[in-house]
């Protein structure tokens, strides 16, 4: 297998709902892989907390196209084979040239979802991209998770580990596309776009009413992990869309019906805000604490050992763990 590159801690957040053609936001590109050295020069892009809306989160306007290409090139954590608007896709041609790929074009093979951070797997070889996609499909069919996410949740799951199963569908509610759960889906529902989803979870640490959770999805659906944690009444910190489906009365949490969900700023307990040392304006800009930490890929040749690619947490995520006293194991 040849021709793939892996970027590290990239937040694929788009400021507009369209998903493309908007500002690209980076959140600390320090990365590493098994048997790979730590790329140098990434920390200078982090800025200082005093001039940022949220500590450890870089403002999109701070990067030029040239600087973004430099950051992406420095973020390559593994490399096999020969070496308009500010979005990841828009700078791929320049990144290809910067990496000395000539006429070969980079394409995204695997990436974290919109608003989350983590690994982005790129390939300049169509055969490699096709082989990896086939590997991902076979792994899902065999129920072998190939991706591991870290999440900080507002609330602590009632069990330390388990699986979350839910039938989900995409609905257009009040002008917004939302993923909603479907109880007891029929065969007609499945044919009309409802999908049965499954994720494994494990609570790694708890503190200040929050939890550090390891998530391993076995299916792929938009916003699957955010919705799964909301169904556990423990929405992901910084989830300003699906956290609103969790209501609280007299300290007890409950799930609101899907039709009542309206995306809005996540409401946090005052004690939690103090623990995080955030101002009200910073709470409103709290980034999603969901990070694609690890990808398991097949070896270069059939007899080679599998490859494990890792991306350390972005600065804002690490800061939150320190503030809450959560230790990653």
Mean pLDDT for the chain overall: 78
Nearby residues of 63 by Cβ (< 8 Å), 6 or more positions away: 24, 26, 45, 71, 86
> What is the rounded CA–CA span in Å between residue 142 and residue 199?
14
Distances (CA, A) of 99 to 4, 85, 89, 265: 12, 21, 15, 40
Distances (CA, A) of 152 to 180, 204, 233, 235, 236: 21, 10, 13, 9, 6
User: Are 83 and 209 contained in the same domain?
Assistant: no
Position 234 in a domain: yes
Q: Compute the average pLDDT of residues 269-277.
A: 95
- What backbone phi and psi angles, to 5 degrees, belong to 103? -85, -10
> What is the rounded CA–CA span in Å between residue 224 and residue 218?
10
Q: Compute the average pLDDT of residues 237-263.
A: 87
- The 10s digit of each residue's pLDDT in 62-81 is 777 777 667 666 655 454 54
User: Are 93 and 153 contained in the same domain?
Assistant: no
Can you give the pLDDT at residue 277? 95
Distances (CA, A) of 116 to 10, 26, 32: 8, 11, 18
User: Are 29 and 107 contained in the same domain?
Assistant: yes
Can you give the pLDDT at residue 5? 54
- The 10s digit of each residue's pLDDT in 93-131 is 777 778 787 778 888 888 877 789 999 888 888 888 888
Residues in the chain: 329
> What is the rounded CA–CA span in Å between residue 118 and residue 101?
24
Can you give the pLDDT at residue 29? 26
Binned at pLDDT 50, 70 and 90, residue 267 comes out as very high
Binned at pLDDT 50, 70 and 90, residue 319 comes out as very high
Can you give the pLDDT at residue 32? 35
Q: Does the pTM exceed 0.95?
A: no
% of the chain residues with pLDDT over 90: 40
Can you give the pLDDT at residue 19? 25
- The 10s digit of each residue's pLDDT in 159-168 is 999 999 999 9
Position 80 in a domain: yes
Q: Compute the average pLDDT of residues 258-281.
A: 88
Q: Which of 16-25, 182-191, 232-241, 307-316 shows the lowest per-residue confidence on average (mean pLDDT)?
A: 16-25
User: Are 100 and 192 contained in the same domain?
Assistant: no
The tokens describing 312, both together, are 């350390």
Q: Where are the alpha helices (DSSP H) in 142-291?
A: 187-191, 224-231, 270-276, 280-284
Position 49 in a domain: yes
Can you give the pLDDT at residue 74? 62
User: Are 135 and 21 contained in the same domain?
Assistant: yes
User: Are 134 and 158 contained in the same domain?
Assistant: no
Task: Assess whether pLDDT exceeds 90 at residue 87.
Answer: no
Pairing of strands 290-297, 117-118: parallel
Can you give the pLDDT at residue 276? 96
Task: Assess whether pLDDT exceeds 80 at residue 15.
Answer: no
- The 10s digit of each residue's pLDDT in 126-160 is 888 888 889 998 988 888 999 999 999 999 999 99
Q: How many domains does the chain have?
A: 2
Position 315 in a domain: no
> What is the rounded CA–CA span in Å between residue 259 and residue 242?
12
> What is the rounded CA–CA span in Å between residue 196 and residue 263?
23
User: Are 154 and 67 contained in the same domain?
Assistant: no
Top mean pLDDT of 82-86, 250-254, 292-296 is at 292-296
Q: Which domain holds residue 55?
A: 4-146+297-306
User: Are 93 and 201 contained in the same domain?
Assistant: no
What region does 188 belong to: left with phi over 0, alpha with psi -120 to 50, or beta? alpha
Q: Quick check: 243 and 201 in contact, CB under 8 A? A: no
Position 289 in a domain: no
Burial class for 252, CB neighbours closer than 10 Å (0-12, 13-18, 19+): exposed
> What is the rounded CA–CA span in Å between residue 154 and residue 147?
22
- The 10s digit of each residue's pLDDT in 16-46 is 122 222 223 332 222 333 333 333 333 333 3
User: Are 222 and 280 contained in the same domain?
Assistant: yes
User: Are 111 and 183 contained in the same domain?
Assistant: no
Q: Quick check: 118 and 9 in contact, CB under 8 A? A: yes
User: Are 111 and 27 contained in the same domain?
Assistant: yes
Position 318 in a domain: no
Q: Compute the average pLDDT of residues 195-222.
A: 96
User: Are 116 and 156 contained in the same domain?
Assistant: no
Can you give the pLDDT at residue 194? 94
> What is the rounded CA–CA span in Å between residue 121 and residue 126?
13
Distances (CA, A) of 322 to 8, 9, 318: 21, 19, 6
């Amino acid at each position: 297998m040849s021709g793939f590159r892996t970027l590290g801690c990239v937040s694929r957040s788009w400021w507009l709902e369209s998903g493309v053609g908007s500002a690209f936001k980076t959140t600390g590109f320090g990365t590493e892989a098994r048997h790979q050295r730590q790329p140098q020069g990434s920390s200078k892009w982090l800025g200082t907390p005093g001039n940022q809306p949220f500590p450890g989160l870089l403002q999109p306007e701070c990067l030029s196209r040239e600087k973004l290409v430099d950051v992406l090139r420095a973020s390559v954590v593994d490399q096999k084979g020969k070496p308009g608007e500010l979005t990841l896709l828009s700078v791929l041609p320049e990144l290809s040239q910067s990496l000395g790929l000539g006429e070969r074009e980079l394409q995204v093979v695997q990436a974290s979802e919109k608003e989350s951070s983590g690994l982005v797997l790129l390939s300049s070889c169509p055969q490699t991209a096709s082989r990896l996609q086939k590997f991902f499909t076979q792994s899902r069919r065999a129920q072998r998770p190939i991706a591991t996410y870290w999440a900080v949740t507002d609330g602590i799951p009632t069990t330390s580990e388990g699986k979350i199963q839910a039938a989900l569908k995409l609905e257009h509610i009040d002008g917004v596309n939302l993923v909603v759960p479907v109880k007891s889906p029929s065969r007609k529902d499945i044919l009309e776009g409802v999908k049965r989803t499954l994720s494994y979870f494990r609570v790694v640490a708890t503190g200040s009413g929050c939890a550090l959770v390891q998530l391993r999805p076995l299916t792929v659906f938009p916003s699957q992990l955010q919705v799964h944690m909301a169904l556990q009444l423990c929405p992901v910190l910084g989830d300003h869309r699906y956290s609103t489906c969790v209501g609280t009365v007299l300290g007890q949490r409950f799930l609101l019906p899907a039709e009542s969900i309206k995306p809005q700023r996540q409401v946090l307990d005052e004690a939690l805000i103090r623990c995080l040392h955030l101002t009200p304006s910073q709470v409103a800009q709290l980034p999603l604490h969901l990070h694609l930490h690890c990808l398991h890929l097949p070896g270069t040749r059939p007899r080679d050992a599998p490859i494990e690619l890792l991306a350390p947490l972005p600065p804002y995520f690490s800061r939150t763990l320190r503030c809450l006293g959560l230790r990653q194991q």
